[in-house]
């Protein structure tokens, strides 16, 4: 592995989707993907709600809105084509107070602006017809929200990339990047612990929670560029199957006003488990434990709209960490997907802050990166 045409850093769902896309669009070129863990998707891509979002929350014309709406369509097509386990469950965003009802109205308007055309406002009796066990005076129904088995999705993307001759190297951590004759010399640790390097014409940074650090390896001042990430944890609690079977849709409250999370919701996972979560709080150190002490907060957030649940039904389950550009107290930030030619880094693309809806958007993100390469 001395030279490559494209070097992608990080084998989460986004890096894998980019590897699959680029190796299809540039079949004569060598595509290499380096990942520090022994297998794909060990970070955010396997620690999330596995929801295929519809795209109604995000500001109009933002990358999040555009890529989510396009990604939703691409994801269903892809899952059907490659027999990936998924379900068009539909989702209800529920409201019980006047303030929450007005939030639902704003979501409807935002959804329409974003091109989500199938949203519907339901009254109490329409909600009862769909979900007799929940308590809500109004709800937005999103029929095109669903779930996908993220492991099967990543496995298929990995297989497509490999079939198209991508070199995928696990246990290879990128440690240093140096410019060399208009290319990039990328130093990485290999499984035997030795430091090796590869020269690449293109560099694509899809390293998730570490993508700000990877950008700084390229020589970018991440404070000045606004690339510094603020890890924000989300925990989940599972509920027993006997209670889980009483609900068939995904049930969400109105989102947090700063959109740091979508509110503690109920998700039916593709493996048939049902979980509540995620909450959203900023952390200083990577830690995937779930605090049993948070059960009471979870219960208080959901008891008004899921009245059949009791505190004792909640069991600590898993946690994920969002790579947020938004600092505590700030409002939502968009994805950063930037060809860094203005910074003198020709043929280097950074993807920073790829939090939700990054899973939904992985195929549209990959397509956008492919288009940026062609434009260059
Ligand atoms: C709690 C939570 C819930 C979510 N729910 C949803 C949802 O329901 N729907 C949705 O659409 N999105 C959701 N998301 C967002 C989604 O999970 C992410 O947007 C997506 O997984 C990001 O994928 P990625 O490939 O960019 O990052 P990651 O999956 O984090 O992958 C980055 C990879 O880069 C590797 N890496 C880092 N540094 C290096 C290095 N120096 N060298 C080599 N490898 C490196 C890492 O090991 C990692 O494997 C959620 C996220 C969280 C945390």
CATH number, position 29: 3.50.50.60
C-alpha of residue 39 to centroid of ligand 1, in Å: 13
Residue 190 lies in a domain: yes
How far is CA 257 from each of CA 115, 138, 159, 254, rounded to the nearest angstrom?
Answer: 21, 18, 40, 8
Residue 277 lies in a domain: yes
User: Residue 139 phi/psi, 5° resolution?
Assistant: -155, 150
Q: Rg for the chain (alpha carbons), in Å?
A: 21
**Ligand 1 atom nearest to CA at 188:** 42
305, 92 Cβ separation under 8 angstroms: no
DSSP-based helix, strand, coil % in the chain, nearest 5: 35, 25, 40
Place of tokens 């492991």: 151
Q: Mean pLDDT of successive 10-residue segments in the chain (376 residues)?
A: 95 98 98 98 97 96 98 98 97 95 95 97 97 97 98 98 98 98 97 97 98 98 98 97 94 81 87 92 96 96 95 98 94 96 97 98 98 96
Verify whether ligand 1 is closer than 6 Å to residue 43 (CB atom): yes
Same domain? 252 vs 349: no
Same domain? 134 vs 279: yes
Tokens representing residue 307 in the block: 């009245």
Q: Which of 324, 344, 366 is the last residue of a domain?
A: 324
Same domain? 165 vs 222: yes
Q: Mapping DSSP to helix (H, G, I), strand (E, B) and coil, where does residue 56 land?
A: coil
Residue 51 lies in a domain: no
Residue 238 lies in a domain: yes
Tokens representing residue 147 in the block: 């779930």
CATH number, position 125: 3.30.9.10
pLDDT at 299: 96
- Exposed, middle or buried: residue 8 (CB in 10 Å: 0-12, 13-18, 19+)? buried
Same domain? 182 vs 219: yes
Q: What DSSP designation does 12 have?
A: S
pLDDT at 238: 97
**CA 41, CA 19: separation in Å to the nearest integer?**
14
Q: What pTM was estimated for this model as a whole?
A: 0.97
Same domain? 243 vs 309: yes
C-alpha of residue 298 to centroid of ligand 1, in Å: 24
Residue 81 lies in a domain: no
Verify whether ligand 1 is closer than 6 Å to residue 321 (CB atom): yes
Same domain? 236 vs 318: yes
- Residues in contact with 206: Cβ distance below 8 Å, sequence separation at least 6, in sequence order: 8, 9, 10, 12, 14, 15, 18, 351, 354
Same domain? 132 vs 234: yes
Residue 301 lies in a domain: yes
**Ligand 1 atom nearest to CA at 49:** 8
Domain residues for the domain of 252 are 86-146+230-324
pLDDT at 262: 80
Q: How many domains does the chain have?
A: 2
Tokens representing residue 241 in the block: 């199957």
Same domain? 158 vs 305: no
Q: Which of 299, 324, 349 is the last residue of a domain?
A: 324
Residue 222 lies in a domain: yes
Verify whether ligand 1 is closer than 6 Å to residue 9 (CB atom): yes
How far is CA 234 from each of CA 79, 253, 313, rounded to the nearest angstrom?
Answer: 26, 16, 19
C-alpha of residue 43 to centroid of ligand 1, in Å: 6
Same domain? 368 vs 342: yes
pLDDT at 272: 85
Same domain? 198 vs 299: no
C-alpha of residue 153 to centroid of ligand 1, in Å: 14
pLDDT at 190: 95
Same domain? 16 vs 114: no
Among 342, 322, 321, 346, CA closest to 332: 322
**Ligand 1 atom nearest to CA at 214:** 41
**Ligand 1 atom nearest to CA at 173:** 42
pLDDT at 263: 85
DSSP element (H, E) containing 34:
strand 31-34
**CA 265, CA 213: separation in Å to the nearest integer?**
32
298, 317 Cβ separation under 8 angstroms: no
**CA 175, CA 42: separation in Å to the nearest integer?**
19
Same domain? 162 vs 129: no
Residue 181 lies in a domain: yes
Q: Which of 290, 305, 324 is the last residue of a domain?
A: 324
Question: Closest Cα to atom 31, ligand 1: which residue?
Answer: 12
């Amino acid at each position: 592995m001395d030279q490559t045409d494209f070097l992608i850093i990080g084998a989460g769902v986004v890096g894998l989707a980019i590897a699959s896309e680029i190796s299809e669009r540039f079949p004569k070129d060598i595509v290499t993907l380096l990942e520090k863990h022994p297998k794909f998707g060990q970070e955010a891509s396997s620690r999330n709600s596995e929801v295929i979002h519809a795209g109604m929350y995000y500001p109009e014309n933002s990358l999040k809105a555009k890529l989510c709406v396009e990604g939703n369509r691409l994801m269903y097509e892809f899952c059907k084509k490659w027999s990936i386990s998924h379900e068009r469950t539909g989702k209800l965003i529920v409201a019980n107070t006047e303030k929450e009802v007005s939030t639902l109205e704003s979501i409807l308007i935002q959804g329409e602006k974003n091109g989500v055309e199938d949203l519907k406002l339901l009254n109490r009796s329409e909600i009862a017809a769909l979900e007799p066990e929940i308590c809500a005076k109004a709800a937005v129904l999103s029929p095109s929200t669903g779930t996908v088995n993220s492991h099967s999705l990543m496995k298929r993307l990995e297989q497509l990339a490999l079939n198209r001759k991508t070199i995928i190297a696990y246990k290879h951590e990128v440690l240093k990047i140096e410019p060399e004759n208009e290319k990039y010399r990328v130093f990485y640790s290999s499984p035997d612990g030795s430091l090796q390097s590869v020269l690449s014409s293109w560099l694509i940074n899809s390293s998730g929670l570490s993508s700000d650090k990877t950008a700084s390896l390229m020589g970018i001042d991440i404070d000045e560029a606004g690339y510094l990430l603020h890890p924000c944890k989300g925990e989940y609690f599972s509920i027993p199957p006997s209670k889980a079977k009483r609900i068939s849709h995904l049930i969400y409250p109105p989102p947090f006003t700063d959109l740091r999370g979508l509110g503690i919701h109920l998700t039916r996972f593709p493996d048939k488990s049902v979980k509540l979560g995620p909450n959203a709080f900023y952390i200083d150190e990577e830690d995937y434990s779930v605090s049993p002490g948070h059960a009471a907060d979870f219960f208080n957030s959901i008891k008004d709209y899921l009245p059949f649940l009791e505190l004792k039904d909640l069991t600590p389950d898993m946690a994920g960490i969002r790579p947020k550009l938004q600092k505590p107290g700030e409002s939502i930030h968009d994805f950063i997907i930037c060809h860094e030619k203005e910074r003198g880094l020709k043929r280097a693309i950074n993807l920073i802050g790829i939090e939700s809806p990054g899973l939904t958007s992985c195929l549209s993100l990959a397509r956008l990166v492919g288009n940026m390469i062609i434009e260059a």
